Amino acid sequence: MNAFKIPRKQLALYLMLIPPVVVLFIYAYLPMLGVVMAFQRYQPALGFLHSDWVGFDNFRRLFHIPDVKQVILNTLFIATMKIIVETVAAIAVAILLNEIISKVFKRTVQTIIYFPYFLSWVILGGIFRDMLSREGLINTILGKFGVDPIIFLSKASWFPYILVSTETWQITGFGTIVFLAAITTIDPTLYEAAVMDGASRWKQTLHITLPGMKSTIVLMVTLSLGYILNAGFEQVLMLYSPETYKTGDVIDTWVYRMGLQQAQYSLGAAIGLFRSVVSLVLITVSYMIARKISDHRIF
Amino acid sequence: MVDRSLGRRIFQGLNGFMFIIFSLSCIIPMVHVLAISLSKSTAVTAGKVTFWPVEFSMKSYEYILKNSEFWNAMGVSVERVVLGVVISMLLTILAAYPLSKSKLQFKHQSFFAWYLVITMLFSGGLVPSFMIVKNTHLYDTIWALVIPSAISVFNVLLLSNFFRNIPKEVEESAFIDGAGHTRILMSLYLQLSMPIIATLVVFAAVTHWNSWFDGIIYMSNQKSYPLQSYLQTILVDSNTRVITRANAELMSRVSDRTIKASQVFIAAIPILFVYPFMQKYFVSGMMIGAVKE
């Protein structure tokens, strides 16, 4: 009868939830309330409650900074490329992996190509910074063919592509797990029937394997859309330098430099809020689309 | 029916070759770093080192052995892994069990499920989160690395999905015997879900070992950085210097690359070590979560 009355037998369940609920309240929900900073001239000494209100001033200031437009464009460009390239790569590698006949070879390959996913970007960044440096491995090899040393990581025009290719290399292997699972759920009689009809291997992939993976593909793309304004923050932070800010600076790295290192708290909070709202809209829209297309409920 | 046509065999050959190249590309960077760390710095500078140490030398490891900053950071990392895993597993289990119940068994199940899921959909962002950590006095303590990130909603959903698949009869008969929810969770559910809990423990440990950004923002000085945060500063800071002042600095930093390489390799060792165990679990672990009941 009363919605707030707790049945006695269920009391233990509520007690169990207290610690996780409190932790999330403080470290997930309070920061959400903390976005009021974006509408204040926030001063740490005054806190959230006593800082001056300035309405939309921070947003107005923000979108007048020329860097900000560039940073948003960089983020969208890098993230969109990553989503497309990484999804296509994972699907293609999963299909090709599935064609391997030898079980031992297949398992060995899987074990090896999943591995880079588990290394942090500090380690990977350290390795790539060394390999791509003036005296690094890549230049040593190129030098044997008479190519002059290239300082890869200071070439602004190459930087987004370096980000996309290194991350694709890192996560493609692990990304195949989901798609391999999708392939195994496809009814084998479909292939038998196709062989009877004389369909080539390529035709089978096109008309049976890919459609069979459709709902998984839609699901994975949907999930990644939520991260479109993320663009691989840790990777960028490890690899970029002032020389590559023009093409490589993304929202999160900008927030970090402005919002924390230079103590422009309110500006940082404002673009952070912008980013969160856009992500929320994208997740909601893509979730609804995914549900229409593939009838797959994520939650 | 196995296809033995020529085209098919050529495809198989090329496909296998492609995967050999891909696999090598995943191993070579680690091998290269190891080779650099074990070579004499003059050989490294001369560009002679590829995949095998040249003029074998343990100098860089000797240097690290004496480097107290490095071991200090290692200590912080170990501390955060232990505390982090214990706390996040505790919170994950406490959240997953009630959420695995149906609406009949747990009246506000969907309210709390949404309470968790909303935190996945929307976040306050970096600056407000930082302010909350500061205002709750976790700043500059090990707890800043452990508590704010303790609950991974994804892991909670994974575990509660697993709990949900445990046959109802197990629970019902325990109820008849007079056990309460706490007993059922502790002595039945946890025993039955050891494989997935082991998986989550390993993943949480790896995540904590690999995290570095929180160390950089929540610790005021480098002395309290965990290993990966410490490494980030030495890798990034001195490298930008090398790039901008290029050749002038180069000669004075000849041994820099071998030392960096050995530190990078040491930081990767724990991952190399647990990877075989993880590999056994993670495919099944992920699938359990993906399978709908």
Whole-model pTM: value is 0.88
pLDDT digits (tens, 9 = 90+) for A188-210: 899 999 989 888 888 999 999 99
Q: Which residue type, as a one-letter code, is found at position B203?
A: F
CB count, 10 Å around CB of A205? 16
Residue A2 lies in a domain: no
Domain count, chain B: 2
Q: Does residue A8 form part of some domain? A: no
Question: Tokens in use for A83?
Answer: 């989503």
Write the Ramachandran bin of B228: left for phi over 0, alpha for psi from -120 to 50, otherwise beta: alpha
**What value of ipTM does the predicted structure carry?**
0.87
pLDDT in the model for residue B2: 58
Range 119-178 of A in CB contact (< 8 A) with B: 119-120, 122-131, 133-135, 137, 139-140, 143, 151, 153-154, 169, 173, 177-178
pLDDT in tens, A22-77: 999 999 999 998 888 889 888 888 888 888 888 888 898 888 888 899 999 999 99
Same domain, B70 and B24: no
Q: Please state, in angstroms and rounded to a whole number, the distance separating the CA atoms of residues B129 and A276.
A: 13
Residue A222: list chain B partners with CB under 8 A: none
| pLDDT tens readout for residues A130-173 | 899 888 889 988 988 988 888 899 889 999 999 999 999 999 99
Give alpha helix (H) positions in chain A. 11-24, 30-33, 47-50, 57-62, 66-99, 103-114, 121-131, 137-144, 159-184, 188-196, 201-204, 210-212, 214-225, 233-239, 245-248, 251-255, 265-294
Same domain, B262 and B133: yes
Amino acid at B136: T
Whether A135 is covered by a domain: the verdict is: yes
Across the interface, whether the CB atoms of B148 and A27 are under 8 A apart is answered yes
Are B112 and B47 in the same domain?
no
Domain shared by B133 and B254, yes or no? yes
B36 and B101 share a domain? no
Give the model's pLDDT for residue B82.
97
Residue B251 confidence class, pLDDT cut points 50, 70, 90 = very low
**Domain membership flag for residue A23:** no
A193 vs B: CB within 8 A: no
Tell me, yes or no, whether B130 and B181 share the same domain.
yes
If we measure between CA atoms, which residue out of A277, A280, A271 comes closest to residue A59?
A271
User: Which one of B12, B41, B57 terminates a domain?
Assistant: B57
Task: Name which residue leads in pLDDT, B49 or B250.
Answer: B49
Query: In terms of residue numbers, what domain contains B121?
Result: 59-289
Of A20, A115, A181, the CB nearest to B95: A20
Residue A211 is part of a domain; what is its CATH number?
1.10.3720.10
Write the DSSP string, B255-282. THHHHHHHHHHHHHHHHHHHHHHHHHHH
Based on the fold, state whether residues B143 and B24 are members of the same structural domain: no
Whole-number Å distance between alpha carbons of A135 and A222: 41
Instruction: Specify whether B217 is located in the same domain as B159.
Output: yes
Burial class (CB in 10 A: 0-12, 13-18, 19+), B54: middle
Residue A108 belongs to domain spanning: 45-293
- CB nearest A20 (choices: B91, B122, B268): B91
Q: State the pLDDT at residue B3.
A: 63
* B52 and B66 part of one domain: no
Number of helices (H), then strands (E), in chain B: 15, 0
- The domain tally of chain A equals 1
A261: DSSP letter: I
**Which residues of A, range 61-90, sit inside 8 Å of B by Cβ?**
none
- For residue A191 the two structure tokens come to 């292939």
**Residue B166's pLDDT is what?**
87
- By the 8 A CB rule, do B281 and B198 touch? yes
CA atoms of A140 and A143, how far apart (whole Å): 5
Interface test with B, best of A11, A24, A236 (most B CBs within 10 A): A24
Residues B24 and B108 in one domain: no
Distance, in Å, from the CA atom of A207 to the CA atom of A194, rounded to the nearest integer, reads 9
- Alpha carbon A150 to its chain centroid, in Å, reads 29
Please report the pLDDT score of residue B250 as a whole number. 43
Residue A189 lies in a domain: yes
B246/A134 touch (CB, cutoff 8 Å), yes or no: yes
Position A298 in a domain: no
B214 and B82 share one domain: yes
Note whether B121 and B34 are same-domain residues.
no
Whether residue A34 lies within 8 A of chain B, CB to CB, comes out as yes
Contact check, Cβ <8 Å, B23/A177 = no
Q: At residue A275, does pLDDT exceed 70? A: yes
Q: How confident is the model at residue B289 (pLDDT cuts 50, 70, 90)?
A: very low
Interface test with A, best of B28, B127, B247 (most A CBs within 10 A): B127
Residue A181 touches partner B, C-beta closer than 8 Å: yes
> What mean pLDDT value characterizes chain A?
88
pLDDT at position A216 is 85
Residue A14 inside a domain? The answer is no
